[in-house]
Amino acid sequence: MNQRVTAELQMELLSDGIFGSGYSIPGGEDIAVCRDSAGYPYIRGSTLKGLLRESLTNLLAWTGGTRQQLEALLGKEGWNEGADTQIRLTDLTLDKPPLDPEDCFSLRTFTALEEGTAKDKTLRVAACIRHGSRFTGKLECSAGDAALLRQALAGIKWAGTLRHRGFGRVRLTAGPFCPMERVDTAVEPAACLFYRLYTESRVLLTDYAHSGSNDQRTRGFLPGSAVRGMVIGALARQDPAWFEAHRTELLGAQTRFLDALPSREGLVPLPSVKGFYEDKEETVFTSVVVEGSFTPGLKRAQTGEFCALQGQQMHCWRALVGGTVRIRRAGADTSESQIFQTHCLEPGQSFEGYILLERPELAQAIARVLTGHVWLGADRFGGFGRCRVQVCRGMAHPAWMERYGCQSQQDVGRQIYLLAMSPVAMLDSDGEVCGLAEEELARALGIDSARVVRCSTSVETYGGYNRTWASRIPTAPMYERGSLFLLECSQTPALEALHRVEREGVGIRRAEGFGQLLFLRRGLLEQITGKELEQPAPALPDRQAAEQRRERIRWIVKHAEEVRKMHLSASQLGSVQSQCERAIAQGGNVTELETFLQRNLKERGARQAAKFKPMADLIHETLSGNTDPRAQLRLLCDLLDYQRKEQVGATV
């Protein structure tokens, strides 16, 4: 197998740049740039891949290369699958982001010309990333391709939109190519592998059941099937002979990859337990499965997607999900480009999951590939899916079995609460999907009968894709994770029988992590009387940042008419703006600006003073009462830039 190497990429803006997000902000910018959840600009990995494809195409044409070389590196255009020789790119993010995201941007205005004058109703506002900004990212490739890719990267001189107007001149460099970091994970044979993954880039795990034609939803966790595909692929490439000898054990139900749930420090995550209701004031919190009755006036409780049970509280949370607008280019299947929105897991989150093994000796081989950096999900060659393995160690069983499950025979009674840890569906005697097959479940528990007395569930249809056969997996309705059942047993099951069912799972598609159950110990749910719902992170949400930008532009448009009535020439507006920019560079010191204004008010005659008086009043009013004058000086610069360009465009 060709050795994989990685290098750090650095991109410096030599001019202002516009890396469009594909949408505009009503009442704000007509051309908006890509921003992360905190409001900082970034460059998509797919954008960088497109620039690299363009540069590499030219390079191969000049050096006598072939299209086959291009497709071996970047894949066929519009197709994101490929062999291990393909490159992988992350998004480019700011190297040293400022405290205020708005420091990264300046506003520019544009008009279309018609017979030498500005065309009516063509004024457009664009948010530009300031020149001098530096972005960094990662490139992963095969060692044999590193030299060629370095040349292609050096050939990228322009990026983003409006290049014909001088925007987007860049310098792109790659650091030393180093072998991929591999951490020797010494794991003893174990029946269970625990792993924790940290998302270093956005992760795209499309939820087709809830997606539309122009809106692709994501799962709020890392599916066991995605982890399974990554591990199996790595094992097959690392040692094909060993993989063939162990194919049956790895691909069958003897090895089960459970979903990785978003983790919280000190807590053992569970799927959010269904069946809880609350009043509007959220002072009453009760389970209809436990109580056996429903109190009128209550509503279904908001409990997020995942939870942890501690004492009398249910701690609830969900993964942080973001979105981006993308463009599906016209191709063979469509004659028009289509804009669609993609949701994805945001970087900076940890997810923990388990791999259950009937052959404990397989743990050592799996741990050797579940280390360092791994890539998960879709569009892995366009900036998505880079994760770091934080932990991989052997265990006797998943932590939630010990934390929430039955540990002694005294924890077991004839009535047992059964929680679906993953989607679950069983087959009846005719081979049809039937949800929970009570007779089969009773046989697995070693008792005469087991009957569902009460339950709180939801049902979803699950499909999949078999890459070996290049075909869709037939869909099947399943109980969703978090579904809760109260079982009435003919006799008290043995503790060993409960643990056996928890280890082996039930129903269909167990190798992909489906069919995982947990029998909750007595008294655990009965004591839950309240919840603690995790609130969003304190970082500035993008919608608030967008509203701030709209307020900023409304202020500029409002005062633009005032500036126009001052009858200052473009050069005079430029002088005022220059003084404001000097004050910003001096940390907000307005001494030179004030001297400039006083000179025009008192030393250059009454006519000059009359023209500059309204401008001086506007500047003093804007700067008054603000603890950080740099923000208001930047606002004045944007206003003057807007008015000066509008004036120049109207007189061309």
DSSP 8-state assignment for residue 424: B
Q: In angstroms, rounded to a whole number, what is the distance separating the alpha carbons of residues 570 and 640?
A: 9
Q: What percentage of the chain carries pLDDT values higher than 90?
A: 29
Strands 415-420 and 313-317: unpaired
Q: Is the pLDDT of residue 512 over 60?
A: yes
pTM: 0.76
pLDDT, mean over the chain: 83
**Residue 30, Cβ neighbours under 10 Å: how many?**
15
Q: Is the pLDDT of residue 536 over 70?
A: no
What the block records as the tokens of 205 is: 């795990």
Please give the C-alpha separations between residue 55 and each of 93, 151, 165, 174, in angstroms, as whole numbers. 21, 9, 20, 15
Q: Please give the average per-residue pLDDT across 535-554, as a whole number.
A: 58
**pLDDT at res. 123:** 61
What the block records as the tokens of 199 is: 């998302």
Q: What percentage of the chain carries pLDDT values higher than 70?
A: 85
Q: In angstroms, rounded to a whole number, what is the distance separating the alpha carbons of residues 374 and 214?
A: 29
CA within 13 Å, CB half, 485:
23
Please give the C-alpha separations between residue 537 and each of 18, 35, 267, 317, 385, in angstroms, as whole numbers. 28, 17, 18, 11, 22
Facing residues of 326 across strands?
340
Q: Is the pLDDT of residue 84 over 70?
A: no
Burial tier of 16 (Cβ tally within 10 Å: 0-12, 13-18, 19+): buried
428-447: pLDDT as tens digits:
888 888 889 999 999 999 99
Q: Is the pLDDT of residue 327 over 70?
A: no
Query: Whose CA is closest to 379, among 336, 326, 449?
Result: 326
What the block records as the tokens of 367 is: 């741990």
DSSP 8-state assignment for residue 499: H
Please give the C-alpha separations between residue 383 and each of 204, 380, 395, 498, in angstroms, as whole numbers. 10, 6, 33, 43
Q: What angle, 0 to 180 degrees and rounded to 10, lies between the N-to-C axes of helices 45-63 and 146-154? A: 100
**pLDDT at res. 420:** 94
CA within 13 Å, CB half, 650:
12
Q: Do the beta carbons of residue 563 and residue 618 sit within 8 Å?
A: yes
Q: Do the beta carbons of residue 344 and residue 203 sit within 8 Å?
A: yes
Better-scored residue on pLDDT, 210 or 266:
266
Least confident of 12-16, 99-103, 193-197, 627-631: 627-631
